């Protein structure tokens, strides 16, 4: 089938490449000439494991262009995969979606299905349909469908090739049949519903996972107070198949491009209709407070960061991506710098993006060893494999004061107890091998 994809971010590019893998002819459209040139050369403009290899395997079925008119005019199916960033009030910014919709309406020259892959508020597909009809240039029939994505950064290729489910929202039965053909070779449960239900499935799914993360973080905070171990608690909970063991890792909150904006967008939408979602609001509040958990823990050791050497391990919001959106480091590092700290940071893929925000204020290191050398305290913000596999004896050998404050519970407490260090984590007992001196 001849497919066009509007947008080459995480959603658009991964969708386009994975559809090409399933033998569709795919044209990916972007307004950025530099990005298009990179993709034509087989280089992904985003860091996503496995994506460039998949691009290389399917270049005969992939076209990258800024010429949206030619891309859209002969397509059987057009996917909209542009961003819907958060506005100041928490609502979703749909300007990119609506802009692309107008371009599509003015370009198409044959009957087609326009599929909204972007995460959009409930009812947006109806508005897109009206916008298309009011901007059509040629006498064609266009159906609008909702087909939300369920990918996670770092595992986006796998999530798209082997999805947990495929959700299709249509008001036109023939459009549903066309999308069934698009996904015919995918091995996944496929459900067809109406558009608003499909839009809600996406928001409800993401917000439920955010709730789960905030819940376990609150339980972890209580575990610290009463002396329970959150890892044992989560393990015991996870054996119950009604709960499951995923998204029960305590830490310093969720980040990225989805959970923060999707929780706020659904909460905003509910408030707009005078129907507050109290559980979603609580998840948002818990997550914002959790981001500062490590700073609060450090205050028992340091009244101030002024003049201290601080090591930061991990800059991105999670491993497997170079994305910094809503990363806890964006909240914590400015506090350290404002307080007079000297910050050294390490991340295997996120440094270049972080440099765009902090080009000169931080010393960026190529190894964990260089980062922690002569440090007074080390903060762990991202659970990269390199951090989890690090020889913890090096903390006491290289740091001025081996105080490690871990926001992702990277180390087994039994190992830590045998090391010469002070170690704080989330929802677990503190391990103090040194006399605590307030500085």
> What is the set of active-site residues?
258
**Dmax of the chain from CA atoms?**
79
Backbone angles phi, psi at 279, to 5 degrees: -70, -40
Structure tokens that stand for 188 in this block: 């996944």
Nearest C-alpha neighbor of 263 from the set 212, 317, 318, 195: 212
376 secondary structure, DSSP code? S
Q: How far apart are CA 154 and CA 165, in angstroms?
A: 19
Distance of CA 166 to CAs 115, 161, 181, 433, Å?
Answer: 13, 11, 12, 52
String of DSSP letters for 187-233: -S-EEEE-HHHHHHHHHHHHHHHHHHHHHHHHHHHHHHHHT--HHHH
Going by C-beta distance under 8 Å and a sequence separation of 6 or more, which residues neighbour residue 327? 255, 315, 316, 317, 381, 382
Q: How far apart are CA 98 and CA 90, in angstroms?
A: 18
3-class DSSP state of 53: helix
Structure tokens that stand for 154 in this block: 């770092």
3-class DSSP state of 108: coil
Crossing angle between the packed helical segments 195-226 and 124-135, to the nearest 10 degrees:
140
3-class DSSP state of 163: coil
Q: Beta strand 309-313 with 377-380: parallel, antiparallel or unpaired?
A: parallel
Residue with tokens 């994506």: 51
Element (H, E) at 345: strand 342-346
Q: Let me know: does 196 contact 120? Beta carbons within 8 Å.
A: no
User: Cα torsion at 356, 360, 361, 364 (round to 10°)?
Assistant: 80
Q: Beta strand 431-432 with 422-424: parallel, antiparallel or unpaired?
A: antiparallel
């Amino acid at each position: 089938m001849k497919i066009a994809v509007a947008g080459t971010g995480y959603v658009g590019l991964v969708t386009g490449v994975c559809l090409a893998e399933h033998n569709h002819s795919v044209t990916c459209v972007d307004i950025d000439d530099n990005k298009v040139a990179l993709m034509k050369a087989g280089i992904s403009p985003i860091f996503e494991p496995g994506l460039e290899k998949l691009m290389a395997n399917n270049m005969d079925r992939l076209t990258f262009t800024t010429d949206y008119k030619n891309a859209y005019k002969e397509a059987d199916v057009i996917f909209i995969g542009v961003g819907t960033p958060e506005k100041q009030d928490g609502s979703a910014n749909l300007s990119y979606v609506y802009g692309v919709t107008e371009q599509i309406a003015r370009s198409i020259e044959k009957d087609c299905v326009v599929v909204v892959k972007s995460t959009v508020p409930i009812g947006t597909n109806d508005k897109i349909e009206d916008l298309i009809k009011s901007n059509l240039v040629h006498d064609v029939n266009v159906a609008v469908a909702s087909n939300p994505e369920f990918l996670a950064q770092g595992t986006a290729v796998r999530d798209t090739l082997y999805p947990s489910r495929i959700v299709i929202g249509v008001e036109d039965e023939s459009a549903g049949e066309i999308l069934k053909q698009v996904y015919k070779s995918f091995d996944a449960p496929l459900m067809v519903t109406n558009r608003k239900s499909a839009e809600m499935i996406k928001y409800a799914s993401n917000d439920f996972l955010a709730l789960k993360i905030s819940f376990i973080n609150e339980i972890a905070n209580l575990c610290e107070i009463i002396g329970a171990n959150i890892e044992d608690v989560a393990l015991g909970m996870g054996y119950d198949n009604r709960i499951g063991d995923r998204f029960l890792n305590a830490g310093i909150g969720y980040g990225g491009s989805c959970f923060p904006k999707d929780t706020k967008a659904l909460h905003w939408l509910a408030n707009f209709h005078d129907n507050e979602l109290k559980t979603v609001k609580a998840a948002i509040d818990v997550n914002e407070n959790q981001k500062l958990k490590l700073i609060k823990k450090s205050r028992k050791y340091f009244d101030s960061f002024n003049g201290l050497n601080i090591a930061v391990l991990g800059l991105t919001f999670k491993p497997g991506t170079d994305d910094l959106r809503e990363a806890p480091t964006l909240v914590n590092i400015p506090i350290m710098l404002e307080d007079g700290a000297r910050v050294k940071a390490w991340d295997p893929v996120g440094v270049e993006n972080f440099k765009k925000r902090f080009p000169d204020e931080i010393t960026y290191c190529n190894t964990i060893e260089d980062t922690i050398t002569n440090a007074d305290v080390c903060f762990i913000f991202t659970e990269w494999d390199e951090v989890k596999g690090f020889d913890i004896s090096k903390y006491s050998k290289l740091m001025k004061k081996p105080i490690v404050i871990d926001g992702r519970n990277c180390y087994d407490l039994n190992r830590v107890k045998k090391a010469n260090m002070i170690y704080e984590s989330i929802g677990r007992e503190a391990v103090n091998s040194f006399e605590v001196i307030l500085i």
